[in-house]
Amino acid sequence: MNNIREQIKDKKKIVVKIGSSSLQHNETGDLDYIRLEKLVRELCDISNQGKKVVLVTSGAIAVGKKAVNLKTIEGQTQAEAMAVKQACSAIGQARLMMAYQKLFSEYNHVAAQILMTKNTIVDNLNRYNAHNTFTQLLKMGVIPIVNENDTVATYEIEIGDNDTLSAIVAALIDADLLILLSDIDGLYTDDPRQNPDAEFIEQVDELTDEFMNMGKASTGSNVGTGGMNTKMIAAKIATSSDVDMLIANSRDIGVLHRLLEGENEGTLFVAHRDESFDLPEFVQNLHKN
């Protein structure tokens, strides 16, 4: 076991993000309750070990679409399509939370909902309030469940994807580890679904442009947002804020405890605090480049 992996055992404040593609059955689009239950059980166990844990979950739009039987999100204008997406998110977020609340309470844990937008970070008072809320919830032993507030977030104020959101949350609360659970084992030199010669990367010690460019926006499902591209933006935010980041495959949710035991799975991005990194400024400028 290498030394950096060994140190993962000591992580005390952990943010876990799960993508839409990991929460639903590919064939039907319905929620995968077995995986959801395993995820909740793992998170409760991490909490029982005395660690602080935050869940960033996608899935609101996918669950909402399914609830009203929409195959695709369409509208005559872009604004109409956006309204349909927002309506689906409003429907799905409530359903998703209902499932999480039920499962967390079965394991005797209390969960809370936090919905965020860009303004939560960019506005000083909002950021201060959000920070205090997270701190208080974690002090109470409650597990915050976070998603973007899709209902109010249009282009101007959206973060846009939950990889980026989870890294922002990790930076905001001074987490020491961010784990992104995806439908792929980690970072490859290229999208392995498109390039059979792509090679797996176990560890990224320094996030150079070469690594940043490896993460393509292509996704493996019709519900994922951003592909590996947004995971590299997340890596930039996390590692610059002194948070180690792991990408691992959600196929077996047991990967969570194996990672926290220091096992060598997934891709590890090693933290390097960058004193010049300014979270509110970075978030303000998201999507501008």
Ligand X SMILES: N[C@@H](CCC(=O)OP(=O)(O)O)C(=O)O
Ligand Y SMILES: Nc1ncnc2c1ncn2[C@@H]1O[C@H](COP(=O)(O)OP(=O)(O)O)[C@@H](O)[C@H]1O
In this structure, are residues 96 and 61 in contact, taking their beta carbons and an 8 Å threshold? no
Strand ranges in the chain using DSSP code E only, listed in sequence order? 13-18, 52-57, 111-116, 143-148, 177-182, 203-204, 244-249, 267-269
DSSP conformational letter for 220: S
CA distances, 166 to each of 9, 69, 72, 126 (Å): 21, 29, 26, 17
266 binds ligand X (CB under 6 A): no
Which DSSP helix (H) or strand (E) runs through 125? Answer: helix 124-139
Contact (Cβ atoms closer than 8 angstroms) between residue 198 and residue 189:
yes
Site string for ligand Y, 131-170 (x = CB under 6 A): ----------------------------------------
Which does residue 60 touch among ligand X, ligand Y, none (CB within 5 to 8 A, set by kind)? ligand X
Binds ligand X by CB under 6 A, chosen from 148, 176, 183, 190: 148
Angle at the Cα of 256 from the Cα atoms of 169 and 21, rounded to 5 degrees:
70
The C-alpha atoms of residue 41 and residue 38 are separated, in whole angstroms, by 5
User: Residue 147 pairs with which residues in a beta bridge?
Assistant: 115
Cα(5)–Cα(202) distance, integer angstroms = 11
**Binding-site member from 52, 138, 161, 216 for ligand X (CB under 6 A):** 161
Applying CB under 6 A, does 239 fall inside the site for ligand X? no
**Rounded CA separation 94/74 (Å):** 22
| 188 contributes a contact to ligand Y by CB under 6 A | yes
CA pair distance 226, 121, nearest whole angstrom: 21
Tell me: does residue 183 bind ligand Y (CB under 6 A). yes
Among 24, 225, 241, 267, binds ligand X (CB under 6 A): 225
**Positions 38 through 77 that interact with ligand Y (CB under 6 A):** none
* 249 sits near ligand Y (criterion: CB under 6 A): no
Name the one range near ligand Y by CB under 6 A: 60-68, 117-125, 127-135, 184-192. 184-192
Verify binding: residue 224, ligand Y, rule CB under 6 A.
yes
The item of ligand X, ligand Y, none sharing an interface with residue 214, based on CB under 5 to 8 Å by kind, is: ligand Y
- The owner of tokens 């090693």 is 270
Q: Is 143 in the site for ligand X (CB under 6 A)?
A: no
# of chain residues touching ligand Y (CB under 6 A): 25
Stretch of 15-23, 30-38, 62-70, 104-112 lying at the interface with ligand Y (CB under 6 A) = 15-23
Minimal distance in Å, beta carbon 250 to ligand X? 11
Sign of the torsion angle spanned by Cα atoms 57, 202, 192, 272: positive
Q: In this chain, which stretch among 113-121, 143-151, 166-174, 212-220 interacts with ligand Y, using CB under 6 A?
A: 212-220
**Rounded least distance, CB 186 to ligand Y, Å:** 7
191 touching ligand X, by CB under 6 A: no
Is the separation of the CB atoms in 181 and 19 below 8 Å? yes
Is 150 annotated in a binding site? The answer is yes
- Tokens coding 120: 């939560």
Report the interface residues with ligand X, using CB under 6 A.
19-21, 58-62, 89, 147-148, 150, 161-162, 223-226
Report the interface residues with ligand Y, using CB under 6 A.
19-22, 182-184, 187-188, 190-193, 214-216, 218-221, 224-228
Query: Annotated binding site for substrate, which residues?
Result: 58, 150, 162
